[in-house]
Structure 1
């Protein structure tokens, strides 16, 4: 049985620690594993002070995937690593640099890497509009590089749309009583649950997760956005229509997205074409020890704030 036991990291580095996966992960580990030394990495000098004030016991570092020296410095004395990248990054460069830095350390016992791809999907089917820089194209490259490295990696594949993207979609709901978003059927997941899963895997002593590719969703919601509009109507106690047209999407979000509008539309249509690749599963519930948050539960929890017009919209780095 000892062969299946993994050392629990005494120190963990979280990349993207100011993001909406990294930050709740830091909160989870601070609360549930306070003896573990946390290091929080950000590529933004402006965010270092904010992170330090939020997590005064953590070691905050500046690190950039394009700079091997900064990665090597950030990884000194680190045993566990959470890796997430921003959309549009060149994963071949980023992960090659990270592998170089990780391979120079004798302390690494576990790396958890976030990805977002259709499982067992032929890369030649990815549309040219999403190459290079597109998540379906770049993430398999990242996985290939990490696989070849021989490092102790667990892949957390987000086979779902983030539920909290609703913050981005509420403008037309409040202004026109209409949910405007490209139609496609997807599973859903609360980023807070993703963060908790990542944290539980990192502090687990179960070595069977090393090398595993786990696809996450909440196991309950595989919904079209028209169906989401019905849930919004029921929870917000007001009629919410639905518009999945390109014209509606361009009018509502073109000013915010600019040239990225057509790329995002192509991404969602790619997801729609391949939506049968997704399957609800029980992985998240098994790791969490409870049922993950559903779309309806999330809307109920945030109902009051959702009904307030957002003063400033921050676009998510990734849509899945």
Structure 2
């Protein structure tokens, strides 16, 4: 019997699609989640309870696995606890595909985890994502009111559909040709934030306006939703993207053999998320 692939963060934005993609290719999947009773994953996946930040949980789940899709949940610069987890993987599996981020080569939590994976795992692939389109679900309440109030409407992002990230991960998990590669994973276009809101309105058939907000006003609201540290990171990143547009990479079409999914296609897939409640 083929050894399973361990998927951490199996119920997350990308993990759920990685599980489905592997099963579609006939690859056994061991899906790790903190709450198996609420997982709602595709039939056929072996679901195990565990936390990605717990090296004992990870070690137990990785026993007998052929590869691991690693999603590290930390956002601190020190990547505290990651060393023990990656060392546990290194002693049990030959291959790790790590969900990283653009700028990892400059350091931060993503760079720290990449370094750990390189040191401990024989075969690795890094998916350096520009930004997940799912992050714009932060605007759901504003979209439902018809007005999104945020700063930096001219900030241009090359947002990527989580399905494309997952498809890249599946290819790297099953195909040895991707070992030792660090891919830049983006959408097919660079699109401003105000333009994103316009697209949402067009797709869902409800007029939605962008209202420019000061960074100071925005920070408070973001902090309530995602915490102060992550709010600061978001504001800083948006500010930078006003003058320095996020690059558009061709790695997704090169690996998948098809164009990357557009932001408009992502909105269509998430139309229900923006629907009015009740």
- Alignment of 1:86 onto 2:73: yes
- Alignment of 1:226 onto 2:194: yes
Using the TM superposition, give the Cα deviation of residue 143 of structure 1 relative to its aligned residue in structure 2, in angstroms.
1.3
Q: Do the aligned residues in 2 keep the contact of 1:116 with 1:158 (CA within 8 Å)?
A: yes
Q: Do the aligned residues in 2 keep the contact of 1:65 with 1:94 (CA within 8 Å)?
A: no
Q: Which of 178, 181, 202 pairs up with 2:150?
A: 181
Q: Do the aligned residues in 2 keep the contact of 1:91 with 1:142 (CA within 8 Å)?
A: no
1:224-281 C-alpha deviation (Å, 9 max, x unpaired)? 2122233234433525233242365357556545xx2x43442123224543373111
- Alignment of 1:214 onto 2:214: no
Residue 40 of structure 1 is matched in structure 2 by 31
- Alignment of 1:193 onto 2:186: no
Q: Which of 25, 30, 46 pairs up with 2:18?
A: 25
Tell me, which stretches of 5 or more residues in structure 2 are unaligned?
none
Using the TM superposition, give the Cα deviation of residue 310 of structure 1 relative to its aligned residue in structure 2, in angstroms.
4.7
Q: 1:250 to 1:30 in 2, by over 3 A?
A: same
Q: 1:119 to 1:256 in 2, by over 3 A?
A: closer
Give SS of 2:144's match: helix
Matches within 5 A, 1:80-229: 80-88=67-75, 92-105=79-92, 108-118=93-103, 120-121=105-106, 123=107, 137-159=108-130, 161-175=131-145, 177-183=146-152, 184-206=155-177, 209-218=178-187, 220-229=188-197
Using the TM superposition, give the Cα deviation of residue 189 of structure 1 relative to its aligned residue in structure 2, in angstroms.
0.6
Using the TM superposition, give the Cα deviation of residue 89 of structure 1 relative to its aligned residue in structure 2, in angstroms.
5.9
Q: Do the aligned residues in 2 keep the contact of 1:91 with 1:139 (CA within 8 Å)?
A: no
- Alignment of 1:291 onto 2:262: no
Q: Do the aligned residues in 2 keep the contact of 1:173 with 1:179 (CA within 8 Å)?
A: yes
CA distance, structure 2, for counterparts of residue 297 and residue 30 of structure 1: 24
CA distance, structure 2, for counterparts of residue 92 and residue 167 of structure 1: 26
TM-score, with length taken from structure 2: 0.85
Give SS of 2:218's match: helix
Q: Do the aligned residues in 1 keep the contact of 2:185 with 2:252 (CA within 8 Å)?
A: yes
Give SS of 2:13's match: coil
Moved over 4 A (4+): 89-93, 250-255
Q: 1:167 to 1:196 in 2, by over 3 A?
A: same
CA distance, structure 1, for counterparts of residue 6 and residue 114 of structure 2: 19
Give SS of 2:168's match: helix
CA distance, structure 1, for counterparts of residue 121 and residue 259 of structure 2: 33
CA distance, structure 2, for counterparts of residue 147 and residue 244 of structure 1: 42
Q: 1:278 to 1:56 in 2, by over 3 A?
A: same
Q: Which of 253, 267, 275 pairs up with 1:308?
A: 275
Q: Do the aligned residues in 1 keep the contact of 2:134 with 2:161 (CA within 8 Å)?
A: yes
